[in-house]
Structure 1
Amino acid sequence: MMDRKAIHVLFLYGFYIGLVHASHQYYYVADPKTWTEAQTYCREKYIDLATISNDTEKKRFLDWAQNIKGSAWIGLYRDLPGWRWSAGSSDYRDWTTDGVSTSMVPEEYVAIVYKQWENHAYTHAHNFICYDERLNACHGFVLISQDKKWRDAQSYCREKHTDLATVKDAIENEKIKEIAASYTWIGLHRLGWQWSDGSNFSPTFSFSKTPTASGSKRLCVVLIRSSPAENIEWEALNCTVKKPFVCYGEVKKKTVQIHRIRFHSDVNVNNAAAQEAILDQIKKKLQEKGLPADAKLSWRKQSDGQIFHEKKDKKRENKKKKRNSRDEF
């Protein structure tokens, strides 16, 4: 009688995939502090001052803040004045006004509008003036009659010329104004509003009052609610004022999925090392199909404490029975 190597059909009852989703949990702190003190407290006790990065988080925050009365710091701030040139340095300015916009924008840029300097938001598209160090005419300034956003204009000037124009004195300013179109970017820009935890900022709300610098080097944002019946408003203040504040932490939610598979094996899969190796291979295959790197996989035992159950191969069993019958005959 020939020896045959046993091939077992094993039924893998199931393995867990644990997916962890983190969301913000907000915490109101009534003890008044300056914005910097509040930032330090939140970083020590939680994660940071409250961040509201998108419309979904904004809705969650507003629902949570229904019972807040008065004002409280959140994690939004901007440094002042903060203006710098795309290339080189110059202290020359020719402002009509250098106020802080009522809109919350992540960056501001300077355009010459009908021969006046104005700060515009990142969403605008204008003609622009490049500087080319190879040119002698017009102080090296070149008008590009294409409407582009400031960052795209900067990339164009760096690729085709030297950079966006820097204005060093009144003489260069007059030359710039001579060649500028009605709306024209130059190289002056500054960072706008930023979150304390470094999250990307996208505008989701506006100020109820026009912010004023009042000689301070930084402005910070508070939520204001005079009574529970009124809507929340946002205002930028000197960061040294003491206010209550809102921190955020993370709440982790676990989602468990159970998967079943069936496979053939000629090894002892009840061995712990074999089970770990199989699970590792499954995880690698699932990650190739998009499984998050932090997902946890584990075996699921059945009521009898076993992971695997052998499933009989009916065709093989039938063939064996027929062969035995012939042998007996």
Structure 2
Amino acid sequence: MNDMNELKKIVIDEGRQYVWTGLQKASVDEWHWSSGDPVLYQNWTTGQPNNGHECAVMKNGEWRDRSCSESRHFICNNMNTGLVFVNQTMKWRDAQSYCRQNHIDLVSVRNQNESQQVQKFINDSHISGDVWIGLFRDSWQWSDQSNSSFRYWRSDEPSNDGNCAAIIHLAPRDWNDVPCSNQNPFVCHEDKLILIRENLTWSEALRYCRQNHVDLVSVHSEEIQRRVMNVVKQASTEEVWLGLRHSCTVGLWFWVSGQTVCYQNWAIDDSDKCESAVRSGAVQSGGDQRWISFPETDRLNFICTRNEE
């Protein structure tokens, strides 16, 4: 949504109806979590999915496919309060929009532990019937091969008018599917971050980034953390090096780019273990993608910046 808000500032009325995005329809339908996480864990009811529908509900701990146009109660994720039951019935996309505007997103059920937590929440809240979860399927893919499942379709779209997605320039600048042969203005982007899927020590990763790009990434704002979250999901290691270093001499973390560590996103900070190896900072490639302190001699993937901040 942050990217979409930036695009809304750029996309203006130039006398044309549409502006191209990098989203194109492919030949294979895939299931996605609304949050963008890959679907590694599945818990379908026996015989499901079987109806060719594109959205999913949860009931008695198991999933069923349903038409996205049906109205259901739903559960959102909230940063502060955890799970939130919304006692209104909405279509799946309307429920998704409601969760994103008022909380974080429709709930993800990415593993057995989360499945048990959601089912306990349903039982404790005395919720009857099935509820929307953040699981949907489509065949739309981004041209940069990213696995982002963010969608911003206009109501009742896509409607099979075409195989490419464009932004309608009029407010609220949502998306429509149109023929790829149409000629429209377009928006380009260059990702400032690049994931290197080689397993190097922190010092080796730093040297690699400075020789081949600019530097190991410094995450000194929530905006950069979101960029990191977009690229880190493709990593082949569970953690990925950042340009974050700890000094036992002064007892402080610092970024290799020189910025002080004001913004923080720690899951585990055990940098007080100064009797052991020098520790550096990494980010989780899955889960909540928070930061963890590791001995600098561990070998992980890493993220380089491609340009000066």
> Normalised by the shorter chain, which TM-score bucket?
0.3 to 0.5
Choose 1 or 2 for highest CA Rg: 1
TM-score (norm 1): 0.32
If asked which structure has higher relative contact order (CA below 8 Å, sep 6+), I would say: 1
Which protein is richer in helix relative to its size? 1
